[in-house]
Amino acid sequence: MNILVTGGAGYIGSHTVVELQKAGHMVAIVDDLSNAKANVIDSIQQITGIRPAFFQIDCADKNALRTVFEQHPVDAVIHFAGFKAVGESVKKPLAYYRNNLDSTLTLLEVMEEFGCKKFIFSSSATVYGPNNPYPYKEEMPAIQSSSPYGWTKVMIERILTDYTTAHPDFCAVLLRYFNPIGSHESGLLGDDPNGIPNNLMPYITRVAAGQLEKLTIFGDDYPTPDGTCLRDYLHVVDLAVGHLKALEYAVKHLGVEAVNLGTGQGVSVLELVHAFKQANGIQLPYVIGPRRDGDLPAFWADAEKAKNLLGWEAMHSIEDMCKSAWEFAKKK
């Protein structure tokens, strides 16, 4: 199939492009490189032997997007492009709503013009909000979030649901990611955020590399076994394969489906830190600091629906995630 991947030069997008090409799909990437680097396209080519078509454009630029659809047949779209820093979204809500909503609406309008009816959306476990019990199940009311970033995911899920109701010949799969970490085994792709990382694993690898002095663990007084927060960490390559499975599902079905992509296991911050040290045989200085605003004590996925509906389950261990994350960081 011919797949358009928006945000395809980013962390999850680039790993997904690799899996799509390995499975024989033709990929066109749309990415404005606002939070990604152009050499990712070279890395994808190095890994798969195929250079994806690449358009450096903003997804909210309708005319530019039309040009892509004119030049490339598009059977399905996987939409990753969007701003994603939780803390920044609290400070710049308008930028987040404008960018994330505009790009999705524009994409849907252009898809409609060109008769494209398959949409895979990069959503997040954040849509379950602060009040649902864990493990999170897809049928729980997902109408809450704790940041403007999270609300854009809630709103886009709503837009896609309403659009699918109005267009019963459309299929949208809303993939709710838990905490993706790790890197491609080649060490050529990985999570490489600009500036000081907000997320745990890129922070850990920069401490391990000596670029940051120490990790601060945000709180050890949570009601969890070791007092630190529990999350459902999954390998980014597993997550990428989940998109391939969602695509296979979307080709054969109509309507909208939300699906969790997680392992179904909660791992604490301290457990991850120790796993990283052990997997890589290196030291990782850390201190315990205060809790971070907005963090929930614990959540993980109920992973049954992904297994039953998409035939997908996470395969990689925490050790694989820690080793591959370090392999990538070492090469930087």
Q: Name the one range near ligand UD1 by CB under 6 A: 17-25, 37-45, 211-219, 308-316.
A: 211-219
Amino acid 257 reads: E
Positions 144 through 163 that interact with ligand UD1 (CB under 6 A): 146-147, 150
Nearest to 263 by CA among 294, 230, 296, 295: 230
CB of 84 to ligand UD1, least distance (A): 5
- Does residue 217 touch ligand UD1 according to CB under 6 A? yes
Paired tokens of 244: 């391939």
274 lines the binding site for ligand UD1 (CB under 6 A): no
Token pair, residue 280, equals: 């890589």
Choose between 217 and 314: whose C-beta lies nearer to ligand UD1. Answer: 217
Active-site residue set:
149
Q: Is 54 in the site for ligand UD1 (CB under 6 A)?
A: no
> What secondary structure does DSSP assign to 69-95, as a single string?
HHHS--SEEEE--S---HHHHHH-HHH
Q: How far is the CB of 4 from ligand UD1 (least distance, A)?
A: 22
Q: Let me know: does 248 contact 232? Beta carbons within 8 Å.
A: no
Scored b (16 or more CB within 10 A) or e, 288-303 reads eeeeeeeebebbbbbb
Contact between 37 and ligand UD1 (CB under 6 A)?
Answer: no
Nearest to ligand UD1 of 43, 126 (CB atom): 126
Interaction of residue 216 with ligand UD1, rule CB under 6 A: yes
Shortest reach from residue 17's CB to ligand UD1, in Å: 19
The 3-class secondary structure across 153-176, one letter per residue, is HHHHHHHHHHHHHHCCCCEEEEEE
* 3-state class (DSSP) for residue 60: coil
Please tell me whether residue 231 binds ligand UD1 under the rule CB under 6 A: yes
| Region binding ligand UD1 by CB under 6 A among candidate stretches 35-43, 53-61, 74-82, 213-221 | 213-221
The pair of structure tokens assigned to 281 is: 């045989």
Please give the full DSSP string across 296-323, using - where no structure is assigned.
-SB--B--HHIIIII-------HHHHHH
Q: Is 220 in the site for ligand UD1 (CB under 6 A)?
A: no
Q: What is the x/- site pattern for ligand UD1, positions 113-132, by CB under 6 A? A: -----------x-x------
Q: Which stretch binds ligand UD1 (CB under 6 A): 32-40, 99-107, 197-205, 317-325?
A: 197-205
Say how far apart CA 85 and CA 20 lie, in whole Å. Answer: 26
Q: Which stretch binds ligand UD1 (CB under 6 A): 57-65, 192-200, 239-247, 252-260?
A: 192-200
Q: How far is the CB of 179 from ligand UD1 (least distance, A)?
A: 5
Residues in contact with 60: Cβ distance below 8 Å, sequence separation at least 6, in sequence order = 99, 102, 103, 106
206 belongs to the binding site for ligand UD1 (CB under 6 A): no
Q: Which of 218, 227, 248, 254 forms a contact with ligand UD1 (CB under 6 A)?
A: 218
- Rounded to 10 deg, the angle between the 93-114 and 62-71 helix axes is 40
- Token pair 């299929």 is found at 171
Would you tell me which residues interact with ligand UD1 (CB under 6 A)? Answer: 84, 86, 124, 126, 146-147, 150, 179, 198-200, 203, 215-218, 229, 231, 269, 292, 294-295
